[in-house]
């Protein structure tokens, strides 16, 4: 039996944020982190750099190797909790050992979306979410020449660039009509699409993979895919990169209130006393929508984890809210987006500027920024995000927002001091290191 004051299930951004916040308040209460992955905390947005062969594991670690010892944290790696035991405050590990806890945080993240495709169990098929996925794909590359990446979103494009840098010929198959369709508008997607194609990647939109077929002499190994229109693409590696959904196994069948994710309040507390949730598994406040949503973004997971940790340790703290915000730098193109990038319906106003491959777009509603897209023009993204986060009325200077020379000087004097040194840009940094 393991006894702990604080049980943190998950060893990624949210769990680490919570542990750090707890230790700021409580230096002696036992903190136990349990993770089914065998590695100390690493930055998942950087696994593509690892797969590309450009960096070692040590370079993608999210904290120093002595982080757990320095903060007096008990960490159980490579171990899985099967039952949280909410009513008894006792978690059951897969190997039979129990953990008795006082406060618990569920920060287990998401699991890959698995499409209904025949042949998914063939050798040479992998998801791309964890370091183990990157290692598995890396181990296959030397004997592979062609890959099909299923999904043209963030995960898919990330995997595509890594494979391309390893000399693999890649075809991206995207179900929707354009790549990165959830984080970019049509213009932004087109700019990224052009760059990807010029790098030698084939992009097929508006199609799905119906079947993965085997090799003529080895039917259990990937030999190609068949699209929904009957077209067959030869390949010897398939990466499933559609996205993730919350891992709700620990919450299902319990008294925890669940929507698309585990519902939490502004303290990151669930519907059950002493149980908290954050990150990709939680349905937390989105300041753009003014309602709870699942926002699977690394920076918001960390911030939500810190809020949860403070409250678990007795220091009252409210979550200001997050929103969908993404930063990427692939194939030489830099992109930052946040909020509503292509809203439907009335009442929205778009301010945009396109200059060659440089693009900036702001979406306004009631003279407040609710969405932003920056492509190869990211220098002022932090300023704009801060204005969006604070719901600033931009009516007196909105025309300057999309201007070539927009900067802090473009803001009214009353706003400049508040914007200096603002932390908005830092929210994007974990994904672009």
Dihedral sign from CA coordinates of 197, 202, 207, 209: negative
What phi and psi, each to the nearest 5 degrees, are found at residue 252?
-65, 130
- Report the C-alpha gap between 37 and 122 in whole angstroms: 23
Which residue carries 């069948």 as its tokens? 253
E strands, 155-258, are 169-174, 202-205, 209-214, 222-227, 232-234, 237-240, 244-246
| Burial class of residue 4 (count of CB atoms within 10 Å of its CB; 0-12, 13-18, 19+) | buried
| Burial class of residue 354 (count of CB atoms within 10 Å of its CB; 0-12, 13-18, 19+) | middle
3 state DSSP class of 352: strand
List pLDDT tens digits, range 257-279: 999 999 999 999 999 999 999 99
| Burial class of residue 70 (count of CB atoms within 10 Å of its CB; 0-12, 13-18, 19+) | exposed
* Residue 399 predicted with pLDDT over 90: no
Domains of the chain: 2-44+52-110+245-312 (3.50.50.60), 114-242 (3.50.50.60), 333-431 (3.30.390.30)
The predicted pLDDT at position 424 comes to: 47
List pLDDT tens digits, range 344-361: 889 999 999 999 999 999
List pLDDT tens digits, range 409-428: 667 666 765 555 554 444 44
What phi and psi, each to the nearest 5 degrees, are found at residue 15?
-65, -40
The pTM for the full model equals 0.93
Residue 32 has what DSSP assignment?
E
What phi and psi, each to the nearest 5 degrees, are found at residue 95?
-85, 5
The predicted pLDDT at position 104 comes to: 98
Q: What would the two tokens of residue 156 be?
A: 């898919």
Do 134 and 55 form a contact (C-beta atoms < 8 A)? no
The mean pLDDT value for 162-184 works out to: 97
Helix axes 154-165, 186-198, angle to 10 degrees: 20
- Among the residue ranges 13-27, 42-56, 149-163, the one predicted with the least confidence is 42-56
């Amino acid at each position: 039996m393991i006894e702990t004051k604080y049980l943190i299930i998950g060893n990624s951004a949210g769990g680490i944020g919570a542990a750090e916040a707890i230790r700021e308040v409580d230096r002696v209460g036992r903190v136990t982190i349990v993770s089914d992955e065998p590695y100390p905390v690493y930055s998942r947005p950087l696994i593509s750099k690892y797969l590309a062969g450009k960096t070692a594991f040590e370079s993608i670690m999210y904290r120093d190797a002595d982080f757990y010892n320095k903060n007096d944290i008990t960490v159980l790696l490579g171990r899985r909790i099967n039952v949280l035991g909410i009513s008894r405050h006792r978690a059951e590990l897969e190997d039979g050992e129990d953990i008795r806890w006082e406060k618990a945080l569920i920060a287990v993240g998401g699991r890959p979306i698995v499409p209904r495709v025949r042949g998914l169990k063939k050798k040479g098929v992998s998801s791309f979410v964890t370091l183990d996925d990157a290692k598995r794909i890396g181990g296959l590359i030397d004997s592979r020449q062609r890959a099909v990446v299923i999904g043209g979103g963030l995960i898919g494009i990330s995997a595509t660039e890594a494979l391309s840098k390893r000399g693999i010929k890649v075809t991206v198959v995207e179900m929707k009509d354009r790549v990165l369709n959830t984080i970019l508008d049509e213009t932004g997607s087109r700019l990224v699409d052009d760059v990807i194609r010029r790098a030698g990647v084939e992009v097929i939109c508006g199609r799905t993979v119906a079947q993965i077929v085997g090799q003529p002499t080895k039917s259990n190994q990937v030999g190609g895919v068949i699209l929904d229109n009957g077209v067959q693409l030869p390949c010897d590696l398939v990466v499933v990169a559609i996205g993730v959904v919350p891992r709700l196994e620990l919450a299902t069948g319990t008294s925890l209130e669940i929507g698309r994710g585990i519902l939490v309040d502004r303290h990151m507390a669930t519907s059950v006393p002493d149980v908290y949730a954050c990150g990709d598994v939680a349905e937390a406040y989105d300041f753009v929508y003014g309602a709870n949503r699942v926002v699977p973004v690394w920076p918001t997971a960390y911030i939500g984890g810190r809020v949860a940790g403070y409250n678990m340790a007795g220091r009252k703290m409210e979550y200001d809210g997050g929103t969908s915000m993404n930063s990427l730098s692939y194939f030489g193109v830099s992109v930052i987006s946040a909020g509503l990038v292509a809203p439907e319906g009335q009442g929205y106003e778009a301010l945009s500027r396109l200059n060659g491959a440089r693009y900036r777009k702001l979406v306004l509603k009631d003279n407040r920024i609710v969405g932003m897209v920056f492509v190869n023009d990211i220098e002022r993204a932090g300023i704009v995000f801060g204005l969006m986060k604070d719901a600033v009325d931009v009516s007196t200077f909105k025309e300057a927002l999309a201007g070539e020379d927009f900067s802090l000087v473009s803001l009214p004097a009353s706003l400049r001091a508040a914007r200096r040194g603002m932390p908005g840009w830092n929210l994007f940094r974990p994904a672009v290191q």
